[in-house]
A = this chain, B = another copy of it.
Amino acid sequence: MLTVYGYSPSGNSHKLRMLLGHLGREFRWVEMDIIGGGTRTPEYLAKNPNGKAPMIELDDGRTLAESDAILYWLAEGTPYFAGDAWERAQTMSWMFFEQYSHEPFVAVARFICGWTPLDSPRRADLPKLRERGRQALAVMETHLSTHPWFSGRGYGIADIALFGYTHVAEDGGFRLADYPHVCEWIARVKAQPGYVAMPAYAPENDTLIAQSRT
C-alpha cells in the first residue's frame, strides 16, 4: 500500500490527500512533526535528502518527493491529468507557478500567522509576503475570469495544487472576497466527487491565527 508522509495542516501535504480521495485510493498516512524536526532525522533524510514533506513511499521502499511531482505520478492515466500535450503542459505550467509564485508567499504568510509566536521576528516579513501573495491571487483571478479550471478543460492536478493553500489563504491575512472568481472556483473544487476537507488545526494554531487577525 502507498504510504504518505505528510503534515495534515500543510497545503502541500493536503494536495495528496485530496487526489487520493478523488481517486478512491487506499493509503497509509504517517503524520510528520515538521515543526519539531521530524523531516530532518537521519532516517527521513536517507529517504528524502531535501528533508521536506510530503513524500510517498511504495511497498518496495522507493520514494518520491515534491508534492506536485507526486500529484503528476498519481494522476497519470486518470482524468485528473487529461488533455493533449499542450493542455498537459499548461497544467504543468500552473503547478510550477504554484510552487514558485504562490506557495512561497501565500503559504509562508499563513505559516507565520499560525505556526510562529506573536513576537517572532519573521512577522516583519508579512507585508512583503502578502504583497507578493496578492499578486499570485490576482493572476489566478485573471485566469479564472475566462476559464473554469487550471488543468485544461476539466478539474485536475493544477487545481488541486493551487487549491491547497488558496482555500486557506485567509489564515495568512489574505481577503479572498477581493477575488470573486477565485471564490467561485473554490466552491466548484469543494463540490468535486470525493473531495476531502483539510483536517482541523491544533487549537494553538487556531488561536495564533485569530490573534494575528486583530
Footprint of B on A, CB under 8 Å?
Answer: 49-50, 52, 62, 64-70, 72-73, 76, 85-86, 89-90, 92-93, 95-97, 99-101, 103-104, 138-139, 142-143
A110 CB to nearest B CB, Å: 17
**Copies of this chain:** 2
A66 touches B104 (CB 8 A): no
Chain B, residue nearest A143 (CB): B49
Give Cα A86–Cα B49 distance, bound, in whole angstroms.
Answer: 18
B49 touches A139 (CB 8 A): yes
Given A49-B143, A96-B96, A142-B49: A89 and B73 interface contact (C-beta under 8 Å)? yes
A125 CB to nearest B CB, Å: 11
Chain B residues contacting A99 (CB-CB under 8 Å) are 96, 99-100
B86 touches A50 (CB 8 A): no
Given A65-B97, A66-B96, A99-B96: A72 and B49 interface contact (C-beta under 8 Å)? no
Given A99-B99, A99-B100, A104-B104: A69 and B49 interface contact (C-beta under 8 Å)? no
B72 touches A92 (CB 8 A): yes
Give Cα A103–Cα B89 distance, bound, in whole angstroms.
Answer: 21
Chain B residues contacting A62 (CB-CB under 8 Å) are 86
Contact pick for A65, options B67, B86, B93, CB 8 Å: B93
Chain B residues contacting A70 (CB-CB under 8 Å) are 89, 93
A39 CB to nearest B CB, Å: 13
Chain B residues contacting A86 (CB-CB under 8 Å) are 62, 64, 73
A135 CB to nearest B CB, Å: 8
